[in-house]
Amino acid sequence: MAKKFLVFDLWSSYGHFKKPYTTSSPLTFSIPPRTAISGIIAAICGIDKKIYIQYFTKDKADIAIALKKPVKKIRLGINLLNFNDSMTKIIGKNPTRFELLQNPGYRIYFNHGDEKLYSSFKKHLKDHTTIYTPTMGLSENLANFNYIGEYSGMEDSDAERTVEVNSVVPLKNIKPRDIVFNYDYEYFSENLPLELDNDRKVTDYGEVIFEKNGRKIAGRFRGFYHLIDIKERIIIL
């Protein structure tokens, strides 16, 4: 089965995608969760943040993510402002140590069943225009993007042969013993939010594996797409 994918690169100076179990010293995911990428695409297209979630459920949108730059993290002190109950006056500051991604860069692969939304996003990518400002997690982390192209992806479910995949790999698509590890590589895994409900509560998580420096992961995978024209293989989150 073939699908069309819009491919674009996304980067910024800093990024922060907060892990939900951290409070006083917020930590960040190494990779933007699928939910964050959905929000970035919605911002570019101008879909209101109160309703965009319903447009990016897994049965409507396909999203894959690849690392384009090595994962680097730093800690910076940020002054969070405290307001009075009416939110009209600053009553103090709360210095907080944030873990931030430094110079993060990703390649995003996107398909959507709604042709109108798909075409609108494609036009914004090609024209490098946005309705709302895309950010890498926090409003201070302004993001930039570059349109790579539109490519046809052929689905391949052959889990018997070894291939290399460009994107991060959901563990549901592979058995641990089927990964071909390179001992010079740095492999990590994270449990990422995949879907939200209308109250912005996470309804689905998925564990992924990636190579810290953006190298391809080799193994025997189930259900990947081969983008022939750019010779890249991806797995949908």
Contacts of 72 (CB under 8 A, 6+ apart): 101, 102, 103, 104
Residues facing 12 on adjacent strands: 143
Residues facing 204 on adjacent strands: 195
Q: How far apart are CA 106 and CA 33, in angstroms?
A: 12
pTM for this entry: 0.91
What does the domain layout of the chain look like in residue ranges? Answer: 2-234
Ramachandran bin of 67, using left for φ above 0, alpha for ψ from -120 to 50, beta for the remaining angles: beta
Print burial letters for 11-25: b (CB count within 10 Å at least 16), e (below 16). Answer: bbebbbbbbeeeeee
Domain 2-234, what fold? Answer: Alpha-Beta Plaits (3.30.70)
Q: How far apart are CA 77 and CA 69, in angstroms?
A: 24
> What is the reported pLDDT for 199?
75
> What is the reported pLDDT for 169?
94
List per-residue pLDDT tens for the chain, 237 residues long: 678 999 999 999 999 998 887 666 789 999 999 999 999 999 999 998 888 888 999 899 999 999 999 999 998 877 665 665 555 656 656 667 888 999 999 999 999 999 999 999 999 999 999 999 999 998 889 999 999 999 998 888 766 788 899 999 998 888 768 889 999 999 999 999 888 877 778 888 889 999 999 999 999 888 889 998 888 999 999
The SS3 of residue 26 is: coil
> What is the reported pLDDT for 4?
93
